[in-house]
Amino acid sequence: MSERLEDIAVAMVAEGQGILAADESTGTIKKRFDSISVESTEDKRRDYREMLFRADQAMKDCISGVILFEETLGQKAADGTPLVDLIKAAGAVPGIKVDKGAQALSGTSIEKVTEGLDGLRSRLAGYYEQGARFAKWRAVITITDDTPSWNCIKANAHALARYAALCQEAGIVPIVEPEVLMDGEHSAHTIDRCYEVTEWALKTQFAELYDAGVNLEGMVLKPNMIVPGQNCSSQASVDEVAEKTVQCLKACVPSLVPGIAFLSGGQSDIDATAHLNAMNASYDLPWKLTFSYGRALQAAALSAWQGKQENVEAAQAAFAHRAKMNGLAATGKWSKDMES
């Protein structure tokens, strides 16, 4: 594969394929394992992720890239093969989560800013040597009656832009992820409020990327969809989510960006697929619209696996099904009756 940033970014949003987010932190993967009563040991985490990366049909046909946690980037499969090599052998691009998590933003009670810029330049050089060709940094923005603040929007956009510039300097494609969270107070978090905040965040983000000299053709955007909060009394139809999301993106995202890989953000598996499909089926778009899902790709597989070797085949089949459904949605060719 070419090492040009632009070519890697295009490969990450290949037709009918999307990105598997397998970058759960040790704390997050423990919660996932707790849900199936499996102890989160290094070997169990490796076994689980190896199982996903060896699901040949899913990986070769539907997965263009895999975001890894630092532990996984250096891990070897049970037979000694580096996990990165399994991903490359399937034709997917290995990537790495590089942020150090969202921490409390000083002077606020609920808002957060993502940390991890200190020492990032040298860490990126090491990740490149280990085979990573893209990176991910997630910022979180919370909607309440009086948030987000300009300080929160600005601080996160600035950090994401500095991260993106450092990635490109290191030959690594940055995934830029400003996430407006779905969880919020029902009174404040309508679909229109989500649109307003997401537009603000994205317009600020692209101004910061411009100031930092980031090459837009060598990046991928990972935004939230425009959805009402989970506790909002007025939920939206699939068509309304698609319409508002496309409208917001067209207002904010330059056409030079090769692709937009949505996060699922707490949506159900089917909702995340249906919304993506509706956008691709109904609109003429300047960028590829695809998926970068974690839980929405893995939940069924995790449930089928239960930490047992004898369940590996069933878990891989569950993962392959969700990957295929989302691959179809990325081309606007999914329908709900395919789920059975």
CA dist 133 and 154 (Å) reads 27
- Report yes or no: 108 and 80 within 8 Å, Cβ to Cβ: no
CA dist 296 and 259 (Å) reads 20
Rg (CA), the chain: 19
Closest to 13 in 3D by CA, of 159, 210, 219: 219
Catalytic choice (97, 222, 244, 288): 222
SS3 of residue 266 by DSSP: coil
79 Cβ contact partners less than 8 Å away, ≥ 6 residues apart? none
Catalytic residue flag (residue 30): no
Supply 117's token pair: 């810029």
Catalytic residue flag (residue 203): no
Catalytic choice (177, 179, 208, 244): 177
The catalytic site residues sit at 177, 222
